[in-house]
Amino acid sequence: MKRGVKDSNLKGAKARKQYLGDVRISKGERPNKISKSTKSDIARQLCTDRLDSPKGMQEHLRMEGVDMSLSGIRKGLKKRGFNAKRKIKRNFFSKDNKAERYAWAKKYRNYTLIDWRQWVISDETRVNM
């Protein structure tokens, strides 16, 4: 920085360029262990199921010569939008069961509210009143 120039005068981009030139001012942060291109490469591999977990990602980074903790990898994944969530459990429907359910839905699709009020549906027992 030139002598006699206050920081408040360097707020605008033009003024900063005039006094400092092409010098980039450090934000005081620790440099990243992984480059942006490596991060995007890992994100692509996670999306295409080549890497399936932070542990697999850690092994991949070790092969590239980057030693990084598992918690650091998880934090990085969260920053990039990869959040852990449990898989939604769904019932298994066989082809026969699907066909049977579809036939039932097709049969009763024109029922009105009044028609449905005549039915009592309880667990797996149907009673027509």
pTM: 0.44
pLDDT tens profile 87-126: 888 888 899 999 999 999 999 999 998 888 887 777 776 6
Confidence of residue 57 (pLDDT cuts 50, 70, 90): confident
CA–CA distance, 68 with 33 (Å, rounded to integer) = 8
pLDDT tens profile 2-48: 555 555 555 666 666 677 666 676 677 788 888 888 888 888 888 88
Structural domain boundaries in the chain: 95-128
Per the structure block, which two tokens stand in for 71? 């918690």
